[in-house]
Amino acid sequence: MRTTPLSTYRLQLRAEFGFDDAAAIVEYLDRLGVSHLYLSPILQAAPGSTHGYDVVDHEQLSRAAGGAEAFARLSTRLTEQEMGAIADVVPNHMSVPTPARLNKALWSVLRDGPGSPFAEWFDVDWGAGDQPLLMAVLGQRIGQVLTAGEIEVDTSGDEPVLRYYEHEFPLKPGTETLPLAELVGSQWYRLAHWKVADEELNYRRFFDVDTLAAIRVENPTVFDATHGLFLRLLAEGRLTGLRIDHPDGLADPRGYLRRLAEETGGAWVVVEKILEGDEELPNDWPCAGTTGYDALLRICGLFVDPAGAAPLSNLNNELTEGPADFATVIEQAKREVVDDGQYAEVHRLVELLARICQDDVRLRDHTRRAFHEVVTELLVAFDRYRAYVVPGEQPSYESVQAMEHAVEVARGRLDEDRHETLDLVRDLLLGREAGTAARIDEDARHELIIRFQQTCGPVMAKGVEDTSFYRWFRLAGLNEVGGDPDHFGVSPEEFHVYAARLVAHWPNTMTTLSTHDTKRSEDVRARLAVLAEVPVAWADAVRSWRELAVAHRDPLIDGTTEYLIWQTLFGTWHDGPIEADRLCGYLEKAIREAKRHTSWTSPNAEYEEAVESFARAVVADADVLDAVRRFSHAQAEVVRCNVLGQKLIQLTMPGVPDVYQGSELLDLSLVDPDNRRPVDYKLRSDRLARLDAGVKPSGLADEKLLVTSRALRLRRQLPEAFAGAYAALPTSSGHAIAFGRGSRGGAPEVVTVATRLRARLYHLGGWGDHTVVLPDGHWTDVLTGRTFNGGSTRLHDLLDDLPVALLARS
């Protein structure tokens, strides 16, 4: 069995689709051409978990998915089919479940505090040793809860516990007979109102999620305890690789990956790492690469016309409120996150700085207020998830440049009398000499470097992905994980440079178009990309739709939300509108994430009802739907080119392609939980069987299945070709992108050709005499069976049946 996958197929495991269900579709996935299943987290998670990232027991396989016995059956089935499996690993955090006893490590810490054998598992600030662990679970302030009699001691079980509705907590030994108010104040934990968490939480968490407590996997004992089961499964051959969730949250990602490579013998490992702008994965991280968001940006960008940026900006400004540029939206959102959701983390950084400077007489005249202002501005200005500074090591040129860029942006936002403090903080964060040469309190300096980087990630994720991307919709399809709405279009030349870099440095990285975290599926983004090619027609269409829907519009609804609805309606259109319940569920999440008029913590029922009422009325209005249908029908051929083109490129470019569950057919899903809906595998298996029997594709869904299956099968047939060279092939038109893979005698063995920006091509009169230069030899298009000779070939002839071609040397 290959240790490096040829391709992967992502499955979302849950109670409704467990290990046995996965085993039942192995034969179908083998026919599709998949080499490895890519399984969402497989360990025991909190009760009712729909995603598995809230692990409670690292020693048990998910009981909801079937447990060890069902996993063994899946492994046997994969072995019979000569396929493998990789699993999602969550090293950064584990669940704070209800009840807490389900997490035995946490339960021990709650009962015994710093004296617990598990105390080193969690990243807790115990203060001077007696500061309790904050448990912000109460519906009102503690005094009101006590007065209402909502907390009680229960001694009926194996050990006495403190109960608050469905919550239960252990009691510090010897406190069970104290008066209730005194008992509550004597524990190793502090029960508090849930709103206290953002300001006083003293354990590191995943982003702003109180129920996901960070763990210290850098501690060898914690690593061994949390990775033992994975290591056994790898040693037994039941897993062949791992996907690492959120490595930026770790104290030492490189050290973690080095330990993992050592323990696994160099297994194939990819990391969920979002690279911003021209950022590259550190070359000293021992892994195969990322999970593919960087590839997603480039692939999808090929089908976005940069000429559409200005007219779509004008339309966005016409229809919506707020800043005209995205950078302003990001700054405001990140500032909100720093001031609110990350306040406790910022406070901890400020206290570290104050401690360092108080202990060093040369640094004492910098105040906490100055530190708070400087740290705030640096976090807002920092434009990536991590600087990769390692305490005790000279920072890389890239790390210094990233930090200096943030410092200069922050300098422009700070009063001049804070600039000296800013320079001091920069030097400390880069590990430079500052203050006394003896470097007093080295431990605090190292901790500062680590914690600042652990805070940058949550500020980026919550400020950009989970806030800004829901506030600004010039072209909603660009508001994607790892994406950049200002990176409007990718030229073939830019893509070729990126692909060649992958071959040279990260040939076994993962590529993707849809994941469990993407804001929209690949096919929704393919549809939305069309709008950049027809901005005038789109503007006219939206204005007319707004007029038709004027009677449904509540004055409460802002223009930004309404514009999102129109883009979503078009992006999910398939022979009719998206179901009203799905649309309304998505919109509730979108407007709460935007945090403009409502939020998860302070829902505004009146506003939410107005949005839902409008959305339901729109998808029930025959006149509106008829207008949307006409516009959608006019873009059908461009959509076809985008859907098939981006899929074929992803499956044949450098890297290991991942197919998200169900997306081998047309899949018009939105952000989770919409993208976790059940997948009809019998339908897919039957359609694939018809294609294999020689039946011609019936519509775009069949064509996508054809492209997916033939590309995956060709990868399996010619693994060395797809692991080898990449060569851009010359075309006489920028509306075609072509490249070759592999090298037999210096010439490619496989050629990919795809149509891009089809609407503009149509207005130019079509392909005409434009050509692509195929390498010498005889070629067969595995999608159509047609044959071609090498040399200059007319694109019209090559792409007559489909807007894409996949050629294999005959």
- Tell me: the pLDDT tens digits for 219-259? 999 999 999 999 999 999 999 999 999 999 999 999 999 99
What is the average pLDDT across 143-171?
A: 94
What is the average pLDDT across 160-167?
A: 95
Which among 743, 794, 792 has a CA at the least distance from the CA of 767?
794
Mode of pairing for the β-strands spanning 510-511 and 656-660: parallel
Confidence of residue 360 (pLDDT cuts 50, 70, 90): confident
Computed over its alpha carbons, how large is the radius of gyration of the chain? 28
pLDDT tens, position by position, 21-42: 999 999 999 999 999 999 999 9
Confidence of residue 2 (pLDDT cuts 50, 70, 90): low
Confidence of residue 157 (pLDDT cuts 50, 70, 90): confident
| Backbone phi, psi, residue 534, to 5° | -130, 55
Contacts 24+ apart (CB under 8 A), 606-610: 606/556, 607/556, 607/557, 610/554, 610/556, 610/557
Question: Which DSSP letter does residue 341 get?
Answer: T
Of the listed ranges 209-213, 542-546, 626-630, 734-738, the one predicted with least confidence: 209-213
Of the listed ranges 92-106, 435-449, 722-736, the one predicted with least confidence: 435-449
- Give the pLDDT confidence score for residue 129 in this predicted structure: 65
Q: Answer yes or no: is pLDDT of 735 > 60.
A: yes
Check: CB of residue 22 under 8 Å from CB of residue 74.
yes
List, edge to edge, every strand of the sheet that includes 750-755: 726-728, 736-741, 750-755, 804-809, 771-781, 787-794
Of the listed ranges 392-401, 432-441, 461-470, 510-519, the one predicted with least confidence: 432-441
What is the average pLDDT across 600-621?
A: 97
Residues 6+ apart with CB under 8 A from 403: 387, 389, 395, 426, 429, 430
Q: Answer yes or no: is pLDDT of 127 > 90.
A: no
* Amino acid symbol at 671: V
Q: Which 3 state secondary structure label does DSSP give 307?
A: helix
What is the average pLDDT across 604-614?
A: 98
Q: Answer yes or no: is pLDDT of 86 > 90.
A: yes
pLDDT tens, position by position, 674-713: 999 999 999 999 999 999 999 999 999 999 999 999 999 9
Q: Answer yes or no: is pLDDT of 437 > 80.
A: no
> CA 137 to CA 164: how far, in whole Å?
9
Check: CB of residue 573 under 8 Å from CB of residue 636.
no
- Give the pLDDT confidence score for residue 441 in this predicted structure: 80
All domains in the chain, ordered by first residue: 8-92+217-291 (3.20.20.80), 100-214 (3.30.1590.10), 329-465 (no CATH), 535-634 (1.10.10.470)
Residues 6+ apart with CB under 8 A from 499: 653, 654, 726, 739
CA distances from 703 to 58, 161, 664, 699 (A): 42, 60, 10, 6
What is the average pLDDT across 138-165?
A: 94
* Averaged confidence pLDDT in the chain: 96
- Give the pLDDT confidence score for residue 740 in this predicted structure: 98
- Give the pLDDT confidence score for residue 3 in this predicted structure: 82
- Give the pLDDT confidence score for residue 1 in this predicted structure: 53
- Give the pLDDT confidence score for residue 12 in this predicted structure: 97
Q: Answer yes or no: is pLDDT of 452 > 80.
A: yes
Q: Which tokens in the block code for residue 101?
A: 């006893």
> CA 770 to CA 793: how far, in whole Å?
8
- Give the pLDDT confidence score for residue 321 in this predicted structure: 87
pLDDT tens, position by position, 195-208: 998 888 888 988 88
- Give the pLDDT confidence score for residue 433 in this predicted structure: 86
- Give the pLDDT confidence score for residue 438 in this predicted structure: 57
Of the listed ranges 320-324, 367-371, 568-572, the one predicted with least confidence: 320-324
Residue 176: Cβ within 10 Å count: 14
pLDDT tens, position by position, 454-489: 999 999 999 999 999 999 999 999 999 999 999 999
> CA 471 to CA 67: how far, in whole Å?
42
- Give the pLDDT confidence score for residue 571 in this predicted structure: 98
Residue 391: cis peptide before it, omega within 30 degrees of 0: no
Of the listed ranges 79-83, 439-443, 469-473, 680-684, the one predicted with least confidence: 439-443
Confidence of residue 285 (pLDDT cuts 50, 70, 90): very high
Confidence of residue 434 (pLDDT cuts 50, 70, 90): confident
Give 577 or 443, the one with higher predicted confidence: 577
Confidence of residue 128 (pLDDT cuts 50, 70, 90): low
> CA 112 to CA 115: how far, in whole Å?
6
Residues 6+ apart with CB under 8 A from 582: 670, 674
Largest CA distance in the chain: 91
- For 138-199, the DSSP string reads ESS-HHHHHHTT-EEEE-SSSS-EEEETTEEEE--TT-TTS-HHHHHTTSSEEEEEGGGHHH
